[in-house]
Structure 1
Amino acid sequence: MSRKILIKNGVVATLAGHRGDGQELDLLIDGKMIVAVEPSIEADDVEVVDASNMLVMPGFVDTHRHTWQTMIRGLASDWSLAQYAKGAHATFKHLYTPSDIYLGNLLGRIEALYSGITTMLDWSHGISSPEHADAAAQGLIDAPGRSVFGYSAHFGFPNNTPIDRDLRRLRESIFSSNDGLVTLALGLRGPQYTSIETTEADVRLARELDLNVTVHGGSAGWGRNRPVGRMFERGLLDHRTTVVHCNTIGDDEVAMMGECGCTASVSPFVEIQMGFGWPATGRLLKRGIRPSLSIDTCTAVCGDMFRTMNTALIAQRGLDNEDVGGAPDQQGLALRCRDVVEFATIEGARACGLESRIGTLEVGKEADLIFLKMDDPTVFPVNYPLGMVAISGHPGLVDTVMVAGKFVKRGGELIGVDLPHLRQLGLQSRDALLARARDEAGADPSLALDGTWQPPTAEYTADAVTGRNASGRT
């Protein structure tokens, strides 16, 4: 017999139409499914959960995070994109053991869950062996959340290493079903980082294995070699394709994405921080593409969706206001708070191929939801709930998190997670990584954790990495 939970007295944002953007509604959950959303529900044999002074809403969906980098958090706070390529990828990545990548994924996934991200796509390009792939997957499986394991073979830039054997093995073993809490996708190397022939082989493999594809395209200088256009020419784009960033792709490439039904993942905080170019939110919207949102990497930016929504909103409002000479239309601002909350929920679910299961609170969907404290002094009194989420929200508001009808955080505390032990293991992993990096660099004392280390980038220009100049010619 499935367990029934009745959530009462909460203010609900269902994000299903405009019902429940700030209305008192009850939710009845049977097992993992939402079975009723009504103003007042009476039911027998249920656990009643009081959500007074809470906003109940869908959990956030992060569609692109390099979770393996958790142990080198913050190192890239003052780095450019090229320095990140040199520091995170060329310096640290190959030093990761399977144990390191397991802990990075486990701790990073727990961090995201703690701040209300119920679903996260782990864009896993720290893999250097089948053992690393298995460890990365297990880190997600052992975390109490919904995840997509975006397997990627970014062993080096550029690279053409075949991935068919390892990806098939994962699909046939760990990820033989699409119904679990952790599912598989392909983190495509794509034309930015490998040949178009390798890109085509990878996409054909993903389609054969019934996997969604997520690919970086438009990442500063790396994205000016027409990655989307070249995939379009080969028939490699469709509704199962998510293009990440899109900052420097051409307007015609955005149109190609719209024509093919692609989704997009915008990482506004890291894009502004590292100089990718302005977030493509507005350009995507003009072509009918409602983007999802993502963190990208916690080596450089914070890991919560609140500041990501806020950055996306404010960056695009700034661009929109500049377009009209600083005088917005009298009818109000074009991009609304509700829009970015949808980007962080239902559009994220769509990008992960999960929109029929999660992303809104409505009958027939799985109960992935969060409770946000509305009596917290930083937001009280809450007059416009979605405005609170997009403008004033922060992880401290996240009181309760539920995934597939199961509480994984309640009263501000994670359930079934031994954080002190994991912290100890995480520090040991970080210290060992740093020691190995210093040894490889000849015990270079400048390789430190205090923000003073600035990786040299001579070999990490866009041209050097892609083998092409900015026009895309080889």
Structure 2
Amino acid sequence: MRTLITGGTVITMDPATGDLAQGDVLITDGVITEVAERIDAPDAEIIDATGRVVMPGFVDTHRHTWQTAFRGVGADWTFMQYLVAMHDTVKPHNRPEDVYLGNLLGRLDALNSGITTMLDWFHCALTPEHTDAAVAALRDVPGRSVFGFGAGFRTSDPIDAEVRRVRSGLTGDGLVTMALALRGPEMTAMETVAEDMQLAAELGLRTTVHIETDGRPIAELLEHGLLRDTTTFVHANGISDDQLRMLADAGSSVSVSPDVELKMGIGWPVTGRVLAAGLRPTLSIDDCPAVGGDMFSTMRTAFAVQRGLDGGLSARDVLEFATVDGANACGLGSCTGSLTPGKDADVILVRADDLSVFPFNNPAGTIVAAGHPGLIETVLVAGRVVKRDGVIVGMDVPTLKARLLESRDRIAADAGIALDGTWRPTPGE
């Protein structure tokens, strides 16, 4: 099967392939086979990209997707209030079916806004059934997803058997793969961190870990021989410059969640400091109770903040963070993140004729500085059209919305919380 996307402005994010003011992208059996100014493919299905920007889909390297039903409730929360609300108060009332709906609608939201690849940093594994429900939701959404299994916080409970069980179920699963979401040196004993990382290495899993406070956690990991080029460190706001250089020397990656970090008081995003250390940062949404679920907002915040701090960041840099750099951090750089012949066709078409961005003079600059989810007209994952003419294909979204509202209302009633933003959880309650 062949598909020809024709007549659009093509941003490949691949220096070797280059960008085209007007060009075509040919897809054969789900793989990009050619990018050129004009391609003759009379047997191909045509997608007319006139007045559109054709580019790789976005990559979100860290999202707690199960929390989708509580979108906006935590807009005014601090980080500590978020922990109390979502982990101490809301999480215990989630049934497996609630997790399924949260993950399903959250992943659909991401896909709808052009995020073709997403790492689901899952830390609601109350039972094996909860974990299976989260994975099932990712499978039911036609996006590329990395299931980051997490054992929770502040625990040294053994996870070996459960990780192996989940891993065995995801072998050869196609678009859904697995990573291990580590408890990390701030949440458990170093001995447990070492055991978790050894398990991940044995199973061939990449790892992802939150590093949110001041101190020397990276130095401690280095001392114990636990820095890897397969680990993504989330946030890292309090980490000193010398420790960021340790991450660069190890080949690790950093996931910046600028909206959450600023709003919740975690700290200034480390985008520029990570670049100065010799790393390419990636971008992530984190949690939708506090912020929006689209990459446009995340890119704009990261861009504006770093420009305000030192003026040294370009829009093209930010677009790379959100695409090819994110794909590399997820271990998927060989198959996605750029419109490179030989890679899977994870492609989005962005409207360039909408009044909010017209005239579209500077494609990369306009997408980063003024883009929004309403511009995402068409989405392809591995060559399959999953959003066409602004509508997700093959999903009964109204019914799923109704089910999510029922789930949200039951959890809120059981937990005794208000949904209008008036509830202010405090640590210790």
Q: TM-score, normalised by structure 2?
A: 0.98
Rounded Cα–Cα distance in structure 1 between residues aligned with 2:13 and 2:328: 14
Q: Aligned-pair RMSD on alpha carbons?
A: 1.1
Correspondence for 1:169 among 165, 169, 177: 165
- The answer to whether the aligner puts 1:389 opposite 2:384 as a matched pair is no
Q: Provide, for residues 364-383 of structure 1, a one-character-per-residue CA deviation record: whole Å limited to 9, x for no partner.
A: 00000100000000000001
Which amino acid in 2 is paired with 1:160? S
The answer to whether 1:130 aligns with 2:128 is: yes
Secondary structure of 1:70's counterpart equals helix
Find the partner of 1:45 among 43, 46, 57: 43
1:145 is matched with which residue?
Answer: 143
Q: Distance in 1 between matches of 2:30 and 2:24?
A: 16
The CA distance in 2 between the partners of 1:43 and 1:34, in whole Å, is 13
- Give, in angstroms, the shift of residue 19 of structure 1: 5.0
Partners in 2 of 1:245 and 1:367 — Cα distance?
30
1:59-98 equivalent positions in 2, closer than 5 A: 59-98=57-96
Provide the rounded CA distance (Å) in 1 between the counterparts of 2:300 and 2:202: 38
Instruction: Name the aligned partner's letter for residue 124 of structure 1.
Output: F
The correspondence of residues 261-272 of structure 1 with structure 2, limited to 5 A, is: 261-272=251-262
Conserved in 2, the CA contact under 8 Å of 1:400 and 1:407? yes
CA distance in 2 between partners of 1:130 and 1:224 (Å): 34
Question: How much does 1:197 deviate?
Answer: 1.0
How far off its partner does 1:91 sit?
0.3
> Which residue among 347, 352, 355 is the counterpart of 1:369?
347
Q: 1:299 & 1:235 partners in 2: Cα distance?
A: 36
Of the structure 1 ranges 399-408 and 125-134, higher mean CA displacement relative to structure 2 is found in 125-134
Q: Distance in 1 between matches of 2:84 and 2:219?
A: 27
Highest CA radius of gyration, 1 or 2?
Answer: 1
Aligned partner of 1:249: which letter?
A: I
The separation in 2 between residues aligned to 1:457 and 1:291, in whole angstroms, is 31
Deviation at 1:226, TM superposition (A): 2.4
- Give yes or no for contact 1:22–1:385 (8 Å, CA) kept in 2: no
The superposition leaves residues 51-83 of structure 1 with CA deviations (integer Å, 9 ceiling, x where unpaired) of 000000000000000000001111110000000
Once the two structures are superposed, residues 184-204 of structure 1 have per-residue CA deviations (whole angstroms, 9 ceiling, x without a partner) of 000001011111111111011
Q: How does 1:15-414 map to 2 (within 5 A)?
A: 15-17=13-15, 20-154=18-152, 157-172=153-168, 174-177=169-172, 180-217=174-211, 219=212, 223-320=213-310, 333-414=311-392
Q: 2-side partners of 1:23 and 1:140: how far apart?
A: 35
Instruction: Tell me what 2:402 maps to.
Output: 424
What's the TM-score, normalizing by structure 1? 0.89
Matched residues, number: 429
| Preserved contact between residue 62 and residue 117 of structure 1 (Cα < 8 Å) | yes
SS in 2 for 1:190: coil
Contact 2:241–2:277 (CA under 8 A) maintained in structure 1: no
% identical equivalent positions: 53
3-state SS of 1:85 partner: helix
Following the alignment from structure 1 to structure 2, what is the Cα–Cα distance between the partners of residues 244 and 119?
Answer: 17
Q: Which letter maps to 1:139?
A: A
Structure 1: which 5+ residue stretches go unaligned?
321-332, 439-446, 460-474
* Structure 2 segments unaligned to the other structure (5+ residues): none
Maintained 8 Å contact 1:64/1:120: yes
Q: In 2, distance between residues paired with 1:406 and 1:158?
A: 41
**Preserved contact between residue 26 and residue 34 of structure 2 (Cα < 8 Å):** yes
User: d(CA) in 2 for partners of 1:252 and 1:49?
Assistant: 49
Partners of 1:129 and 1:252 in 2: CA distance: 40
